[in-house]
Amino acid sequence: MRISVPTEVKNNEYRVALTPSGVHDLVASGHEVFVQSGAGLGSSMPDGEYRDAGATMLDDAAEVWARAELLLKVKEPIASEYGYFRDDLVLFTYLHLAADRALTDRLLADGMTAIAYETVQLAGGGLPLLAPMSEVAGRLAPMVGAHTLMRSSGGRGLLMSGVPGTRPTRVTIIGGGVAGANAAVVAAGMGADVTVFDTKLPRLRYLDDHFQGRVKTAASNPLDLDRAVVDSDLVIGSVLIPGAKAPKLVTNDMVARMRPGSVLVDIAVDQGGCFADTHPTTHDDPTFTVHDTVFYCVANMPGAVPNTSTSALTNATLPYARQIARLGWKDALRADSALAAGLNTVAGQVANTGVALAHGMTQVPVADALA
């Protein structure tokens, strides 16, 4: 199969969809791999390493897209890339279509087969291709929160750990999944006073056992969450419903009652965010103010640490890419129900329930799409 890897063009997106080691793996299996020149530079992976691994380097993005039967990306295509779409191309990337009507409409209009990393789902509910980036974003969130809490960044002027005789920063994490748990690891390690909210009691029991009392847990309900958010210095939102828009759990009224200079970091911004006032920002201009609080809502947080993120992503995606390349996308999805759950659009139809509900569209069952 002909597999292409273009340079990411989203603002400050330095990741690349495949490491040189991943290229070597696919080439050794008999596939052709085309990589756009400079695609890996932001991740400290130079063209020479890709060339040595067996990739064919191409300068022009249009040619990279045109040669592909399977195109691997990191982030969803932006408007400048829509012209490359065609109905015989399989796109495998993060899509987050529930929060992006324009991209959804264009994929359907061009008949693209689009498989989303974030909706590939194991039988037990795990999200194997979202997990590595959730780990990265979760661990970044307390770090960017700590930086934004500095007075020079518009925050309250708090040190996460405090010092003897002063209180530590109060951190509330909404959602105890992969991202939330990783946020708790770093926030607790920085000496903050951390509380994790979740609706699932088994998950709270796991976190309580894992952290051995270093992190507090709380069953999520509107009243207790309201009190915790208003009393927090840093709130991290990490709630995810696979394929669907994130629920809005932090209201504008709650934010209005927080102390001036408090910080809110929304890891769920790719899926629309779990704060009412969330809107996507970029690494160039990451924050905005709401009622004297500071919101950090960068939509590609892991792009800030691209070497780590690219390696972690390739580790997760390569087995699935190898399967698609070996069997073809239809047989690969028939053989793997987790991968089949990743199918979002095909032949002008929506195949994912969350995306269909978000946009009021009719869903074609995956089984029918593969028939």
- Marked catalytic residue, from 193, 233, 266, 270: 270
- Distance CA(27)–CA(21), nearest Å, equals 10
Tell me the DSSP string of 63-80: HHHHH-SEEE-SSPPPGG
**Sheet strands side by side (includes 90-93):** 56-58, 32-36, 2-5, 70-72, 90-93, 113-116, 343-346, 349-350
- Distance CA(344)–CA(108), nearest Å, equals 10
Question: Which of 219, 192, 215 is CA-nearest to residue 203?
Answer: 219
Give the 3-state secondary structure of residue 359. helix
Place of tokens 């696919």: 26
- Marked catalytic residue, from 96, 193, 198, 233: 96
- Distance CA(179)–CA(365), nearest Å, equals 30
Give the 3-state secondary structure of residue 174. strand
Clarify whether 266 is annotated catalytic: no
Clarify whether 47 is annotated catalytic: no
Tokens of 141: 């969130």
Decide the pairing of beta strands 287-290 and 293-296: antiparallel
Active site residues: 96, 270
